Amino acid sequence: MMLRDETLMALGEVIEEGDIVVAVYQSLFDWMEIKPRDLNYVATGAMGQASSHGLGLALANPERRVFVFDGDGSLLMNLGSLATIGEAAPENLYHLVFANGTYEVNGGHPVPGGKNIDFASIAKACGYPHSFRFSSLQKMQEVLAEIILCKGPVFMALDIEPGKKYPWKYDYIHSSEARDRFRRALNRG
Amino acid sequence: MNSLEYPSGKQIIRQLQMAGVRFVVSLPDIVTSSGLLWPIARNNDFELIRVCKEDEGVSICAAMSYNGTRAVLLMQQTGLMDSLNSIRAIAMDYQLPVIMMVGLQGKEPEPLPEQSSVYGVRIIPSVLEAMSVSFSLIQEPSDALTIQDRIGFCYADSKPHVFLIGRTPVE
């Protein structure tokens, strides 16, 4: 079993100061509380676009690692981005999908396909050289340090359950303050 | 005898180079295929990112802009229409310099886009106006000479712009 907030805390242990983190919806709201940092990219704008923002950031900032914390409903909305990323093959991109089978912040309605979709296999077939699926936090933690040494794009599907629910801060994520904060941090070097 | 003049693909590409564009993000469009996209694909000055859907390109170009990396999204007007929510949210609400170059598939060479007999072409200027998205027309050869400056202004002001390609660029 993987609780989302506990999983994010574990991931927080391997995120370094210069890394960019792109997260969406409940994973983003949780992440902003668990690991507030200037290089959190919170403004993806339209649902499904996190992986594409991550690709743009990875290509434009090859000296940094870019982590995308995607959602299953979100990724299904932009599934073609897996092929685009597989083709572009940025070595510094780590694409994680937090799959809970629901549109959690939109009322908890089920995602088509529920928890049956094998995102890790789809990513592998789209050209990600390293693709993993975890439903146990302990098993993920045992190999996490090794996984992030792999050259990307790396994909991880995480079968998660909601943990503690952190507040929804939509006003902040869509604010110019959030974008300016990220931009300043990115260009500080 | 046809006296129409067509924009030069070489001139457009030169303008993109002078504007400092490094990345071209694209879905193929028959209007710009031979005059722009194939030459760009063969040009080592550009990194070509082929996407599966145009709204991916809006996000890629926007994300790149945070450290000043310049990119252009090359697509057809059908892809523009398919990407309106991303353009609304990412380029307009977030005020990011997403530069789009849009082939008007089906447009006749002579008229302005708003005078086209093709509904899908005719509505494009009105749609962009309704969204307050800045746009300009590349139809005559001299129109291409505005590209470098326009891109520079958009990055300086952090605003999007759409270049509508009204005639097929010649190689």
Percentage of chain B lying above the pLDDT 90 cut: 98
CA distance linking residue A88 with residue B71, whole number of Å: 15
Structural domain contains residue B18: yes
One DSSP character per residue, B6-66 reads: --BHHHHHHHHHHTTEEEEEE---TTTIIIIIHHHHT-TTSEEEE-SSHHHHHHHHHHHGG
CA distance linking residue A103 with residue A110, whole number of Å: 6
The answer to whether the Cβ–Cβ distance between A78 and B53 falls below 8 Å is yes
Q: Tens digit of pLDDT for each residue in A118-173?
A: 999 999 999 999 999 999 999 999 999 999 999 999 999 999 998 788 999 999 99
Q: Considering the entire predicted model, what is its pTM? A: 0.97
The answer to whether the Cβ–Cβ distance between B60 and A59 falls below 8 Å is yes
CA distance linking residue A92 with residue A64, whole number of Å: 7
ipTM: 0.96
Q: Tens digit of pLDDT for each residue in B75-133?
A: 999 999 999 999 999 999 999 999 999 999 999 999 999 999 999 999 999 999 999 99
Q: B151: Cβ–Cβ under 8 A, 6 or more apart, which residues? A: B15, B16, B19, B20, B21, B70, B72, B99, B161
Structural domain contains residue B4: no
pLDDT of residue B75: 98
Q: Tens digit of pLDDT for each residue in B34-65?
A: 999 999 999 999 999 999 999 999 999 999 99
Domain limits at B104? 9-165
The Cα-based distances of A14 to A28, A109, B45, B84 in angstroms read 17, 32, 36, 37
Structural domain contains residue B139: yes
- Å between A184 CA and nearest CA of chain B: 9
What's the domain count of chain B?
1
**What pairing do the DSSP bridges indicate for beta strands A66-71 and A20-23?**
parallel
Structural domain contains residue B28: yes
3 state DSSP class of B106: coil
Best residue in A41, A51, A59 for a mutation probing chain B (most B CBs within 10 Å): A59
Question: Per-residue pLDDT for B1 more than 60?
Answer: no
Residue type, B134: S
- B59 shares contact with chain A (CB less than 8 Å): yes
Residue type, A34: I
Structural domain contains residue B36: yes
Q: Considering only CB atoms, which chain A residues are within 8 Å of B68?
A: 187
CATH for B35:
3.40.50.970
Q: Give the orientation angle of helix A50-60 with respect to helix B54-64, to 10 degrees.
A: 40
**Looking up tokens 């001139």, which residue turns up?**
B11
CATH for A151:
3.40.50.970
CA distance linking residue A122 with residue A28, whole number of Å: 24
Best residue in B24, B56, B70, B158 for a mutation probing chain A (most A CBs within 10 Å): B56
pLDDT band at A115 (very low <50, low <70, confident <90, very high): confident
**Looking up tokens 């309704």, which residue turns up?**
B130
- A25 shares contact with chain B (CB less than 8 Å): no
CA distance linking residue A87 with residue A84, whole number of Å: 5
Question: Per-residue pLDDT for B2 more than 70?
Answer: no
Best residue in B60, B88, B99 for a mutation probing chain A (most A CBs within 10 Å): B60
Domain limits at A124? 4-188
| Weakest-pLDDT range from A59-63, B2-6, B86-90 | B2-6
> Counting beta carbons within 10 angstroms of the beta carbon of residue B119, is it exposed (0 to 12), middle (13 to 18) or buried (19 or more)?
exposed
What's the domain count of chain A?
1
